Amino acid sequence: PQRFVIVGAGLAGAKAAEALREQGFDGRITLIGAEPHRPYERPPLSKGYLMGTTERAGVFVHPEGWYADHDVELRLGVAATGLDRGAHRVELTDGGAVEYDKLLLATGARPRTPPIPGAHAPHVHYLRTIEDCESLKEVIGSVSRLAVIGAGWIGLEVTAAVRRAGVEVTVLEVAELPLLRVLGPEVARVFAGLHRDHGVDLRLGVVVSEITRSGVRLGDGEEIPADAVLVGVGAEPEVRLAVQAGLPVDDGVVVDAALRTADPDIVAAGDVANAHHPLLGRRVRVEHWANALKQPRVAAATMLGREATYEELPYFYTDQFDLGMEYVGHVEPGGYDQVVFRGDVAGREFIAFWLSGDRVLAGMNVNIWDVVEPIKALIRTGTPVTAQALADPGLPLDKL
């Protein structure tokens, strides 16, 4: 029988195993995961699981028996350390090796570490794994002041979770607004207001130079007292295997729209893949849940030698305090002409549209639901729109 190997037992790896079986593959599937847990979802780690409202059982991608039931060999607590493309073999940390006919790289990403003194001290937390979440959870219960370095999605979600538990939080961000690069100033301001309204000490435009025992030191010498520190300064794709095997890597493993690497027997999906997107006309590496959920269907089809391309628009959601939102589309930093709002921005119940000329590039619905499909349709079809029509809540989005 054919042997397909998946390296990385996160959401993308697990969904690829599922997609292979759904698409009729009856050969061998080996899923190799460095973590000691069966595949789980990370979004609850900065939300419900951190706050104690989601049970541990609720984070796993599949029930425990699923892998045996679907004849998927799960090798946990074992990392792939070498990839020999000529021999079609993956070497493992336990000294063993597995041979493959087709290989999927689903190795995800890992937190970036800032190059400052103290970044590895015991009271400094990062958030990627269940273990990271559990140690942060303990901290929430025992500290009164947390410093969060980085006002990105993870830093802000953790801030919201921790504030609910009554901890004082100072967020330190080098940019002039939170999420500025991804959202631009118009919508980033909404997130700044949200956090300040909930008592967060949001310190913008500041440089952290050192993490000390008693807190964080800024570039100008100011000391921010904190009992613990969370660092959320982004993630970097886990590309070591691909680099070692000589596959093209450029902010992730470079793949075509079928998610195939330069080696026809190797595909990549999820956070690690920098994939050509036919609709956007360029490569994008998407570090979001929906991408890790859906790309594997295409990766599986490609492994099976079928024609498939991944054309889903990037999609992301977040929950912070009383703000829930969905974002669909893709905008390069500064790559839009204007943002048009529909609804009540001050009341945080609105839709924001990012436009280039008269085309919608992306949309974000905040505390308004069931509008993602019409927003997607506007982006996909490139329907010309006017700012006036977009801003008019009386005009249904599918009638613009």
Q: Which residues contact ligand FAD (rule: CB under 6 A)? A: 7-13, 32-35, 42-43, 45-46, 79-80, 106-109, 127-128, 154, 238, 241, 270-271, 287-290, 292, 316-318
| Closest approach of ligand FAD to the CB of residue 111, in Å | 8
Query: Is the separation of the CB atoms in 79 and 92 below 8 Å?
Result: yes
Do β-strands 253-255 and 201-204 pair in parallel, antiparallel, or remain unpaired? unpaired
Query: Is the separation of the CB atoms in 76 and 65 below 8 Å?
Result: no
Bridge partners for 44 per DSSP: none
Q: Which is nearer to ligand FAD, 192 or 325 (CB)?
A: 325
| Closest approach of ligand FAD to the CB of residue 134, in Å | 12
Q: Which is nearer to ligand FAD, 37 or 359 (CB)?
A: 37
| Closest approach of ligand FAD to the CB of residue 363, in Å | 16
| Closest approach of ligand FAD to the CB of residue 41, in Å | 7
Query: Is the separation of the CB atoms in 105 and 270 below 8 Å?
Result: no
| Closest approach of ligand FAD to the CB of residue 82, in Å | 9
| Closest approach of ligand FAD to the CB of residue 33, in Å | 5
Q: Which is nearer to ligand FAD, 210 or 265 (CB)?
A: 265
Q: Which is nearer to ligand FAD, 292 or 379 (CB)?
A: 292
| Closest approach of ligand FAD to the CB of residue 195, in Å | 16
| Closest approach of ligand FAD to the CB of residue 286, in Å | 7
For residue 57, the SS3 value is helix
Q: Which is nearer to ligand FAD, 45 or 226 (CB)?
A: 45
Q: Which is nearer to ligand FAD, 104 or 355 (CB)?
A: 104
| Closest approach of ligand FAD to the CB of residue 13, in Å | 6
Q: Which is nearer to ligand FAD, 76 or 391 (CB)?
A: 76
Taking Cα atoms as reference points, which of 147, 398, 182 lies closest to residue 286?
182
At residue 129, what are phi and psi to the nearest 5 degrees?
A: -110, 170
290: enclosing H helix or E strand: helix 289-303
Taking Cα atoms as reference points, which of 393, 362, 366 lies closest to residue 378?
362
| Long-range pairs of 180-186 with CB within 8 A, sequence gap ≥ 24 | 181/333, 182/152, 182/331, 182/333, 183/364, 184/331, 184/333, 184/334, 184/336, 184/339, 184/354, 186/339, 186/341, 186/352
| Dist CA 142 CA 387 (whole Å) | 49
| Closest approach of ligand FAD to the CB of residue 384, in Å | 30
Q: Which is nearer to ligand FAD, 128 or 164 (CB)?
A: 128
Q: Which is nearer to ligand FAD, 317 or 359 (CB)?
A: 317
Q: How many CB atoms lie under 10 A from the CB of residue 77?
A: 13
At residue 245, what are phi and psi to the nearest 5 degrees?
A: -85, 0
Residue that has been written with the tokens 């000390």 in this structure: 212
Query: Is the separation of the CB atoms in 243 and 105 below 8 Å?
Result: no
One-letter amino acid at 261 equals: T
Q: Which is nearer to ligand FAD, 130 or 360 (CB)?
A: 130
One-letter amino acid at 232 equals: G
